[in-house]
Structure 1
Amino acid sequence: MKDGVNGVALGVFIFFFLAVTVIGFMAARWRRAENEASLDEWGLGGRSFGTWVTWFLLGGDLYTAYTFVAVPAAIYAAGAAGFFAVPYTILVYPLIFTFLPRLWSVSHKHGYVTTSDFVRGRFGSKGLSLAVAVTGILATMPYIALQLVGIQAVLDVMGVGGGENTNWFVKDLPLLIAFAVLAAYTYSSGLRAPALIAFVKDGLIYLVIAVAIIYIPIKLGGFDDIFAKAGEAFSQKNPATGAPRGALAPGEAGQWGYATLALGSALALFMYPHSITATLSSRSRDVIRRNTTILPLYSLMLGLLALLGFMAIAAGVKVQNGQLAIPQLFENMFPDWFAGVAFAAIGIGALVPAAIMSIAAANLFTRNIYKDFLKPDATPAQETKVSKMVSLLVKVGALVFVLTMDKTVAINFQLLGGIWILQTFPALVGGLFTRWFHRWALLTGWAVGMLYGTLAAYGVASPTQAHFGGSSKEIPGIGEIGYIGLTAFVLNVVVTVVLTFVLNAVKAPAGIDETSPADYTADAGDPGVKVELPLARPEPASSPDTSPSTN
């Protein structure tokens, strides 16, 4: 590790950071609509993005700074088990091809801004909608915090994070500045800011990975030497457990855990509010279809990115915090100026998803808590104002989380968030294809999945933590180690199906469905299809015996 501040790398980093800041504020005038006082404009970019803007936006949203840092860090620490992120991002695209176009159509037709809007309209249940909204907010908060952790890792390696004895304000000042800039242009420009910045972010990441995958192996003697050194390192015993540090390929005992983690993560990825926010900003369902076919290019990039973990081992990178392994590899191997480019790619890679995540969480609060329960007669302008303020509060909460708590806590809460968000799958995806599920059954299944997943995750220990030490545990009745989120999801579905049979048999009130079958296939570009975009969600007509329940 180099001593002091890396002035050249820092200068390049600041240049790119200032460039995207200017772009972020300029985005407020990009495709500016006459009526800006609505969540359609601020929170969804006017629902006007085409194929390439959506592709960059989704890529910037899903492949974050934490991905850039954490995936190769997992390879660096444990070996091939960290590659689970590659198959799960391959599995997810055929999956979303089946349901995202339907979600886009019905949301476009009825003016839905969030998944909770759809759940409320489909099942006539504010209670189920609230459950989905709260889950989304809870799962998103630690995700935002981890983007700030990514920025902090880069600043530490460049030498501007301060030392242990540095005044806390001086130590965290660079992160505070980055946070303030992010908050300002998100408040001003809404979703248009990360949409424009995503072009810069993804371009830098592709450039850095292309150079790294060629340049670093040449310096290290080729991939044969890299894998040989990594295999030798993984064969050494872990002092804490006495077991091998890792492996170049998953062992038989870990294969079930690897497979269930990949499958569960694939099911969960597009349940996150920020994924849906980026999706609903598209101008047609055909844009969504095209994106599901070209987004796998990011999976190719991710596979190459993961190899950096092996390179860090071969390069002799030694760090106490595995999250610093890749930034340290870049500083050790690249010329200072290109290390600055790599650090900028990671830093900007944090700004894009953090902005989208804060907007998505704010939209959930505004539409499904503030409007549904606090101020039902809120105007579109009031909704937008509240969403802007909540987006700031969400980012402040994430910043406090990062500055006051150990980084492993943020990581563990993000893992827990993945378990939680998967429990919204039956209500969202199930609702897109059938109205058979009963709203009370879905709410009960969600509660069972949340409770089991949280308690099971709490019971997982690691060498450094007594609780929440991971997201895999022995599957009851099977004996194999598997992903807790997927086990909780299976319990969720079983409870939902059984209770639906019971509740339908006793003719429990099913709630009003404000959608129709044609809503799920309508496209704004289809001739003869009139697509309405109300600024506020329409309330279904009620009758004395079928009014929507709050359960």
Structure 2
Amino acid sequence: MSGVAVGVFVFLFLLVTVLGFAAARWRRAADLDNLDEWGLGGRGFGTFIAWFLIGGDIYTAYTFIAVPATLYAGSAVGFFAVPYTIVVYPLIFLFLPRLWSVSHRHGYVTPADFVEGRYDSRPLALAVALTGLLATMPYIALQLVGMEVVLQVLGLQAGEDRPWVVQHLPLFIAFAVLAAYTYSSGLRAPALIAFVKDTLIYIVIIVAVLYIPHQVGGWGHIFDTVGAGFDTFNKDNADAIAAGQATPKAIMPPETAHWAYASLALGSALALFMYPHSITGVLSTRSRSVIRRNASLLPAYSFLLGLLALLGFVAIAAGVKVTNPQQSVPQLFEDQFPPWFAGVAFAAIAIGALVPAAIMSIAAANLWTRNIYKAFINRDATHQQEARQSKLVSLVVKFGALVFVLALSRDFAINLQLLGGVWILQTLPAIVGGLYTRWFHRWALFVGWAVGMAWGTWLAYGVASPVQKHFGGPLVALPWDDTTKVYIAMLAFLLNLLLAVVLTVVFRAAGVPDGTDRTRPEDYTADIGDEGVAEELDPETAKH
């Protein structure tokens, strides 16, 4: 443990804690006891705030920990995160402004709200809400995994010989702080903290990719060392690789991994803005133009992501030796940076977990409140009761994620998020399809969702790895070609979509009632100033 590194880390952590509680007074509304204010920040964030908020929401501890860890471990497809973040922004430029418009016209808070209004189907809306909750849990867990890895490298995590509570005490403290300021400040807390988080991330990554490679011999030496090390591993473990007991390491995907790489990138891009927390960040913005400008500006983060991913290779060249690949980048920072800057780097990773974890828990709580509590338990709930439910459930969701972390294998944290991607992608036909057409039958969408969820989960359960018997990875071999692997989420999604199309024809031919669409074509292009679309809520007087 370095006293200087720990001191800097604790100082920055306390700074964002203060900001989290102070956020309740930032852009202050007369009343936070409604979902528009607590859960969506008054629906009034402009381009500058939204860029930090959405960027802080998307680029998480997963970015700092799991992506470089896959390259450090020698995964040939580990770089897929870079093309997927490039592909995603043109997609959101197209469909998210339409979701913003219809949501502001009708007061929708969650994607499940829109699905119920569009298809007049409470079961389908419930399916979307439950899927969002299920997929968000491992994503929050991933942030806590990232935080725990930093605590371990810092020396703040007790050894396995200590009692279980003592081992995880720092994580419990961080969890409690996160829960407290999210409860009090709502979406304003992560929006304000995101300024600090993103500034630290930019500083740390730029310094890391300029300073550390120079210290270890330059990029040419780094790639030569990594290539030689991977070749040696493959030769020494040739028998185990042939028997399927080990995975070959490579810098570039071989021809047999091209479909795995492409399907991971495309599937992840399609899934990213199906997550409730991503949509929450978008619905908190002031206008359609804010979303479009952010879709144009956010690719700046993709450049940083590419540089950050390469730190997995830098760690190999620098001689970092860790049994858990997730510790590779934090250990690299500790070894190469002076203690004071290592503390800054560790704080950037930890705060990079706090911001998205807060937004995710708020989004999940809104799903519970709007689409389960109000839809099925208390249909006459007041705005205050809705806000109280969301605040309480945001605590429960964080606790569930903590259990998720401590109960499941954490050798490769990326698998937790990719499992969530399998589930959340099954909501795309109902959400994105509904933004453009009412052709799909509500029951066809429901059956497609159910089959996609079941089959995708079953396929994921059957995947083993050297460290996990089940849920060991996101890829599965094609039935007709066992040498070609693809992303499980894409297979389940294609089956889902096929069933939705076929059954829509069948149900319409059979005359099965399809409900009443409560939206109108003009709702999907509405903007500020149009009827039913309010200007930014006045922070001094806003009420739902």
Shorter-chain TM range is: over 0.9
Asked if the contact 2:193–2:355 (Cα under 8 Å) also holds between the matched residues in 1, the reply is yes
1:162 aligns with 2:138: no
Asked if the contact 1:77–1:245 (Cα under 8 Å) also holds between the matched residues in 2, the reply is no
Q: CA deviation at 1:244?
A: 6.7
Cα deviation, 1:436-476, whole Å, max 9, x if unaligned, reads: 00000000000111111111111111122222111111234
Provide the rounded CA distance (Å) in 2 between the counterparts of 1:7 and 1:320.
Answer: 25
Asked if the contact 1:24–1:194 (Cα under 8 Å) also holds between the matched residues in 2, the reply is yes
Alignment match, 1:375: 378
Provide the rounded CA distance (Å) in 1 between the counterparts of 2:320 and 2:391.
Answer: 42
Alignment match, 2:488: 484
Alignment match, 1:531: 533
Provide the rounded CA distance (Å) in 1 between the counterparts of 2:62 and 2:93.
Answer: 25
Alignment match, 2:20: 24
Alignment match, 2:428: 425
Alignment match, 1:180: 176
Q: CA deviation at 1:532?
A: 5.7
Asked if the contact 1:201–1:345 (Cα under 8 Å) also holds between the matched residues in 2, the reply is yes
Q: CA deviation at 1:411?
A: 5.0
1:315 aligns with 2:318: yes
Alignment match, 1:498: 502
Match of 1:287 among 275, 278, 290: 290
Match of 2:120 among 97, 100, 124: 124
Match of 1:273 among 256, 272, 276: 276
Alignment match, 2:241: 241
Structure 1 range deviating more: 446-455 or 349-358: 446-455
Alignment match, 1:108: 104
- Secondary structure of the 2:158 match is coil
Asked if the contact 2:54–2:281 (Cα under 8 Å) also holds between the matched residues in 1, the reply is yes
- Superposition map of 1:441-452 within 5 A: 441-452=444-455
Scaled by the length of structure 1, what TM-score is found?
A: 0.93
Alignment match, 1:470: 473
Alignment match, 2:540: none
Alignment match, 2:542: none
- Secondary structure of the 1:473 match is strand
Work out the percentage of aligned pairs sharing the same amino acid. Answer: 67
- Superposition map of 1:58-73 within 5 A: 58-73=54-69
Provide the rounded CA distance (Å) in 1 between the counterparts of 2:481 and 2:432.
Answer: 27
Match of 2:443 among 440, 443, 459: 440
- Secondary structure of the 1:398 match is helix
Q: 1:326 to 1:413 in 2, by over 3 A?
A: closer
Asked if the contact 1:60–1:352 (Cα under 8 Å) also holds between the matched residues in 2, the reply is yes
Provide the rounded CA distance (Å) in 2 between the counterparts of 1:489 and 1:291.
Answer: 27
Provide the rounded CA distance (Å) in 2 between the counterparts of 1:275 and 1:210.
Answer: 26
Provide the rounded CA distance (Å) in 2 between the counterparts of 1:338 and 1:216.
Answer: 12
Provide the rounded CA distance (Å) in 2 between the counterparts of 1:423 and 1:355.
Answer: 24
Provide the rounded CA distance (Å) in 2 between the counterparts of 1:14 and 1:237.
Answer: 39
Match of 1:136 among 132, 135, 153: 132
The amino acid that maps onto 1:461 is A
Match of 1:393 among 396, 399, 416: 396
Cα deviation, 1:282-326, whole Å, max 9, x if unaligned, reads: 010100000100110010010000110110000011111111000
Provide the rounded CA distance (Å) in 2 between the counterparts of 1:489 and 1:522.
Answer: 30
Structure 1 range deviating more: 427-436 or 62-71: 62-71
Q: 1:249 to 1:378 in 2, by over 3 A?
A: same
- Secondary structure of the 1:234 match is helix
Alignment match, 1:402: 405
1:76 aligns with 2:72: yes
Provide the rounded CA distance (Å) in 2 between the counterparts of 1:253 and 1:54.
Answer: 40
Cα deviation, 1:64-119, whole Å, max 9, x if unaligned, reads: 01221110111101244211000000000001111000000000011100000000
Asked if the contact 2:324–2:411 (Cα under 8 Å) also holds between the matched residues in 1, the reply is no
Asked if the contact 1:237–1:244 (Cα under 8 Å) also holds between the matched residues in 2, the reply is no
Cα deviation, 1:419-448, whole Å, max 9, x if unaligned, reads: 010000000000000000000000000011
Cα deviation, 1:92-147, whole Å, max 9, x if unaligned, reads: 00011110000000000111000000000000000000000000000001111111
- Secondary structure of the 1:513 match is coil
- Secondary structure of the 2:168 match is helix
Unaligned runs of 5+ in 1: 536-551
Asked if the contact 2:62–2:414 (Cα under 8 Å) also holds between the matched residues in 1, the reply is no
Match of 1:352 among 332, 355, 366: 355
1:92 aligns with 2:88: yes
The amino acid that maps onto 2:351 is I
The amino acid that maps onto 2:325 is G
Alignment match, 2:460: 457
Match of 1:515 among 516, 519, 532: 519
- Secondary structure of the 1:474 match is strand
- Secondary structure of the 2:97 match is helix
Cα deviation, 1:35-59, whole Å, max 9, x if unaligned, reads: 3221000000000100011111111
Provide the rounded CA distance (Å) in 2 between the counterparts of 1:522 and 1:133.
Answer: 25
Q: CA deviation at 1:403?
A: 3.1
Provide the rounded CA distance (Å) in 2 between the counterparts of 1:429 and 1:336.
Answer: 48
Cα deviation, 1:345-381, whole Å, max 9, x if unaligned, reads: 0000000000000000000001000000011010110
CA RMSD of aligned residues (A): 1.5
- Secondary structure of the 1:468 match is coil
Scaled by the length of structure 2, what TM-score is found?
A: 0.95
- Secondary structure of the 1:78 match is coil
Asked if the contact 1:236–1:244 (Cα under 8 Å) also holds between the matched residues in 2, the reply is no
Q: 1:89 to 1:410 in 2, by over 3 A?
A: closer
Asked if the contact 1:402–1:410 (Cα under 8 Å) also holds between the matched residues in 2, the reply is no
The amino acid that maps onto 1:514 is R
Alignment match, 1:542: none
Number of equivalent positions: 528
- Secondary structure of the 1:237 match is helix
- Secondary structure of the 2:156 match is coil
Alignment match, 1:33: 29
- Secondary structure of the 2:191 match is helix
Asked if the contact 1:130–1:369 (Cα under 8 Å) also holds between the matched residues in 2, the reply is yes
Provide the rounded CA distance (Å) in 2 between the counterparts of 1:244 and 1:378.
Answer: 54
Structure 1 range deviating more: 446-455 or 235-244: 235-244
- Superposition map of 1:289-304 within 5 A: 289-304=292-307
Asked if the contact 1:144–1:358 (Cα under 8 Å) also holds between the matched residues in 2, the reply is yes
Structure 1 range deviating more: 473-482 or 206-215: 473-482
